[in-house]
Amino acid sequence: MISSFLRHAILSSVVLLTACSQANLDANYQVAESLPSYSQDNFEQYIDETREWLLANRVFKTDDIEKELQANLPFELTPKNPNGDAVLLVHGLGDSPYSFIDIAEHLASQGYLVRTVLLPGHGSKSGDLMLPSLEDWQGVVHHHIELLKVKSNKLWLGGYSTGANLVTSEALNDQSIAGLLLFSPAFKPEKSVVKWAGLASYFVTWADQDPEVNYIRYNSLPMHGAAVYYDTAAAVQKDLKDITYNKPVFMMMSEGDRVIDRAFPTAVFEQQFVNSRNHLVWLGEEDLSSSKSTRFSMDRPDLHIVNGSHMGLLYSPDNAEYGEKANITICNNGQSEEQEKACEAGEDIWFSSYGWRVEGKTLARLTYNPYFKESMTELDRVMASQ
Whether 180 is covered by a domain: the verdict is: yes
Domain membership of residue 198 as a residue range: 4-243
Task: Choose among 80, 171, 104: nearest CA to 379.
Answer: 104
Whether 92 is covered by a domain: the verdict is: yes
Helix, strand or coil, per DSSP, at residue 209: coil
Whether 363 is covered by a domain: the verdict is: no
Q: What is the CATH number of the domain that holds 133?
A: 3.40.50.1820
Whether 22 is covered by a domain: the verdict is: yes
Whether 331 is covered by a domain: the verdict is: no
* Residue 194: Cβ within 10 Å count: 18
Cα separations in angstroms, 379 against 66, 95, 107, 261, 310: 32, 22, 9, 23, 18
What lies within 8 Å, CB to CB, of 346 at 6+ separation is: none
Whether 50 is covered by a domain: the verdict is: yes
Whether 210 is covered by a domain: the verdict is: yes
d(CA 188, CA 282): 18
101 residue type, one letter: I
d(CA 98, CA 96): 5
Per-residue pLDDT of the chain (386 residues; tens, 9 = 90+): 333 333 333 343 344 344 434 445 799 999 999 999 999 999 999 999 999 999 999 999 999 999 999 999 999 999 999 999 999 999 999 999 999 999 999 999 999 999 999 999 999 999 999 999 999 999 999 999 999 999 999 999 999 999 999 999 999 999 999 999 999 999 999 887 788 888 888 889 999 999 999 999 999 999 999 999 999 999 999 999 999 999 999 999 999 999 999 999 999 999 999 999 999 999 999 988 778 999 999 999 999 999 999 999 999 999 999 999 999 999 998 888 888 899 999 889 999 999 898 988 999 999 999 999 999 999 999 999 65
Cut 0.95: pTM above it: no
Whether 260 is covered by a domain: the verdict is: no
Total domain count, the chain: 1
